[in-house]
Amino acid sequence: MEQEQHNLVNETNLITNSTDLDCNFLWFSSLENLYLKTLAVFPWIVLVIGVTGIVCNILIILVYTKLGFPSTIHLSYVALAVSDLGCVVASMVYAVTTMAPVSRSFETTALSDRFSQVVGGLPQMTFSRLTGLITAWISLQRCLCVTYPTRVRLMVTHKVVKVVLAFIFTIGCFPIVFVYAMIGSEWQSHVPVNDSTWALQDEKSVTMVTMVTLALIYPVVSWVCVAVCSSVLIIKLKRNARWRTRNAAGAATASIATGKNNSHVTKVVVTVAGIFLICSLPLTASLFATLALPQFSLNGALHYLYRIMVMTCVLTTQINSTVNIVIFAVSGHSFRSLLFRLLTRTCRKR
């Protein structure tokens, strides 16, 4: 009797284990199919958005250069466009290196992944974090303008803005310079494929630097600064709107016009910051998943889900780096007029 019960328990355990294996296989197979379908269209979507982003950011730089820099915020807008231009170009390079013809030129998947990450993925991540830092600076710059309106011209001068932007570009590009300095000094032989390729001198140090800066410090600083400054700006906007409503009859026309102009600039900054935060949501989810799930990595059990999230983050950051021209054109009359003149002049020459 005891032997029969023991056999029954063993058969139940076998059925349960078999069911769990079938569920895991189905889950893994569905993730693989979703990844392959996404990979088939991902490069082409990135290339289309990338071409649009290149044109849009070049136009932003041209328009603000021709308008001059009467306001220090225009310097920051140009710096943001330069960073966005680098982001969309790097995204296109990453998309091209993930295409089948490029990937199949390598004998192993590891070599293909490393090539894509170093040539396209790392620059894309660097410029996207740089865009976040500049967006945080723009939000902070505008927050200072509305908080200390009488002293801001002495605090945030053209020289100060140039120094701050140069510092942001320096620290933003440090990780990629550090990684590239570690490449190409050592060669490793790959016996299974009878080939050799570049290697990193100190891969642990490279991983630590990129993870601490690009995956932790830069995004967290950007999100916190943008979120706090945007909240302050929204509160100030509501207070200014109520003040203009109460004093519209008795206030001077020049004062009302100045308040509207300041509110207009603040709305542009809040819109840019809001789009940045929305487009950063996939990256935020990916970082939390990486910390919470050890298998959510390039070589973990959830590597297909990880790759899908990486492609989603690339797409959202690329969209964030493309749409600013729409915000500037809709919100600014001078920007819109000069932009249309540039476009019509180009069409006439053609």
Residues 311, 313, 314, 315: is their CA dihedral positive or negative?
Answer: positive
Report the SS3 class of residue 198: strand
**Cα angle, residue 88 at apex, residues 49 and 119 outer, rounded to 5°:** 125
What pLDDT is stored for residue 167 in this prediction? 97
Backbone angles phi, psi at 195, to 5 degrees: -150, 170
Q: Which residue has the tokens 């269209």?
A: 41
Number of Cβ within 10 Å of residue 84's Cβ equals: 30
Under the banding of pLDDT at 50, 70 and 90, the label for residue 62 is very high
Report the SS3 class of residue 196: strand
Dist. CA 281–CA 112, nearest whole Å = 28
Nearest to 263 by CA among 250, 244, 276: 244
Query: Is the pLDDT score of 7 beyond 60?
Result: no
What pLDDT is stored for residue 186 in this prediction? 46
| Polymer length in residues for the chain | 350
What pLDDT is stored for residue 154 in this prediction? 80
Q: 298-301: long-range contacts (C-beta < 8 A, 24 or more apart)?
A: 298/113
Query: Is the pLDDT score of 114 beyond 80?
Result: no
pLDDT digits (tens, 9 = 90+) for 14-39: 444 444 444 555 666 777 788 888 88
pLDDT digits (tens, 9 = 90+) for 314-350: 999 999 999 999 999 988 888 989 999 888 876 666 6
What pLDDT is stored for residue 55 in this prediction? 95
pLDDT digits (tens, 9 = 90+) for 237-286: 788 767 666 665 555 554 444 455 667 788 899 999 999 999 998 888 88
Under the banding of pLDDT at 50, 70 and 90, the label for residue 193 is very low
Number of Cβ within 10 Å of residue 328's Cβ equals: 23
Q: How far apart are the first and last CA of the chain?
A: 93
Q: Which residue has the tokens 């021709």?
A: 66
Average pLDDT (136-156) is: 86
What pLDDT is stored for residue 22 in this prediction? 47
What pLDDT is stored for residue 101 in this prediction? 45
Under the banding of pLDDT at 50, 70 and 90, the label for residue 203 is low
Report the SS3 class of residue 195: strand
Left (φ > 0), alpha (ψ -120 to 50) or beta: where does 68 sit?
Answer: left
Please, what are the domains in the chain? 36-159+219-349 (1.20.1070.10)
Query: Is the pLDDT score of 41 beyond 90?
Result: no
Q: What is the four-CA torsion angle of 61, 146, 260, 272, rounded to 10 degrees?
A: 40
Instruction: Report H helices in the chain.
Output: 2-67, 72-97, 100-103, 109-116, 122-147, 152-155, 158-181, 203-212, 218-247, 253-279, 281-292, 303-320, 324-331, 333-349
As a whole number, the mean pLDDT across the chain is 79
pTM confidence score:
0.82
Token digits of residue 151: 């002293």
